[in-house]
Amino acid sequence: MGVGDGDGGAAPGALSCRNLRKTFGGTVRALDDVSIDIAAGEFFTLLGPSGCGKTTLLRAIAGFEAQDSGSIHLGGQPLDGLPPPQRPVNTVFQSYAVFPHMTVAENVAFALEMQRKPRGMIAARVEEMLALVRLQGLGGRKPSQLSGGQQQRVALARALAAAPKLLLLDEPLSALDLKLRNEMRLELKRLQGETGITFVFVTHDQHEALTMSDRIAVMREGKVLQVGTPTEIYERPSLRFVADFIGEANLIAATRVAPGRFRLAGGEELAATEDAGPEGPVTLVLRPERARLAAPDDTEGQALTGTVDQVVYDGADTTYHLALAGGAGLRLRAPSHGGRAQARVGDGVRVRVEPAALRAVPD
């Protein structure tokens, strides 16, 4: 879903960042040669731990931070050097930043009034935006009379009212409780689909990224490590860090002894159909839900043997923490069956691992 590199024929919401560099204090590389293409109408997420550079990249796109070098184009037009008010970009921040002395309607109308739009047009647009974020009838209230989730919707309505080509969202859900976060994830995805505006979303929450995004860029130490769809990032991570950061993963040290074949520390050998690793030491990635407990006398398929150290019941699923014969630990997650565990602490078990469930990545 990538786009061009800034040619004049690019779609209005298409964003192209090329070779962006930003250093703080002369030594800290917040952006280290970052290049990203984002398609018009895409819900694109920048994901990574604190300090990885994702917010710096967002601020550079918005114009709040000037990059040291590199270029940013939106719809084929350069943004470099333009102050934030002159960019067709709006930002929604983690703190709602709604004006407490204004009503909901006045908050939504603010940007349009600054653009000196006709009053009739502003009134109609405000009603349209309040309906879009499902706050009809609340235009006369002050922010202090709203819940946190409603205040976040006001911030979204205000940002969308001016019909920006690009909406930047800097961890906008992190101040909400779990239930509201889940509700707002659905709302954000709905809003993006209904408006068709390009969304660039910053988060360190992997679940948010997986459930909301068309594509994800995983960042670390100012670099983009991998860009792909949620399925690609989760199922086919390119590096150990990506596999470990996205979802739960068993990371098993192994040695590549032949294409698609690996030897573990305990001497066992496993085949893997997803082989992206080099010769020599690699990491085998195994998601907990991709391994299966098998009966000790079940000899079909390749398997590992071990002992159950801990059983954790979590409602729909049960996680089994195992000690493998070679000493490594392994987590296995299986559907719960009415609270009845498939194995108990101390049991010797056989863990079936299909070759398609394993992916080898560089250390």
CATH number at residue 201: 3.40.50.300
Give the pLDDT band of residue 148 (cuts 50, 70, 90): confident
pLDDT in tens, 308-324: 999 999 888 999 999 98
At 277 the pLDDT is: 65
**pLDDT at position 289 over 90:** yes
Q: Which residue range is the domain that position 271 belongs to? A: 248-361
Question: Using CA atoms, how far apart are residues 215 and 47, in angstroms rounded to an integer?
Answer: 10
Alpha-carbon distance values, 302 to 51, 120, 322 (Å)? 41, 70, 17
Is the domain of 295 the same as that of 190?
no
For the chain, percent of residues with pLDDT exceeding 70: 96
For residue 142, the model assigns a pLDDT of 93
Picking from 181, 210, 235, the residue at the C-terminal end of a domain is 235
Query: Can you tell me the mean pLDDT for 319-333?
Result: 90
Does residue 333 share a domain with residue 357?
yes
The pLDDT of 253-262, averaged and rounded, is: 90
Output the six-digit token pair for 314.
């979590």
**Listed residue (84, 14, 6) closest to 44, CA to CA:** 14
pLDDT class of 9 with cuts at 50, 70, 90: low
* Same domain? 193 vs 282: no
Min mean pLDDT across 129-138, 215-224, 225-234 is at: 129-138
Residue 5 has pLDDT above 70, yes or no: no
Where a domain ends, among 174, 202, 235? Answer: 235
Q: How many domains does the chain have?
A: 2
In-domain check, residue 29: yes
H or E element in which residue 215 lies:
strand 215-220
Evaluate whether residue 105 is within a structural domain. yes
Residue 108 has pLDDT above 70, yes or no: yes
Here the CATH number for the domain that contains residue 336 is 2.40.50.140
> What does pLDDT average to over the chain?
89
What are the tokens at 111? 């940007």
Shared-domain flag, residues 222 and 255: no
Same-domain check for residues 45 and 149: yes
Q: What is the pLDDT of residue 314?
A: 87
pLDDT digits (tens, 9 = 90+) for 132-145: 888 999 999 998 89
What is the b/e burial string over 142-154, where b = at least 16 CB atoms within 10 angstroms of the residue's CB? ebeebeebbbbbb
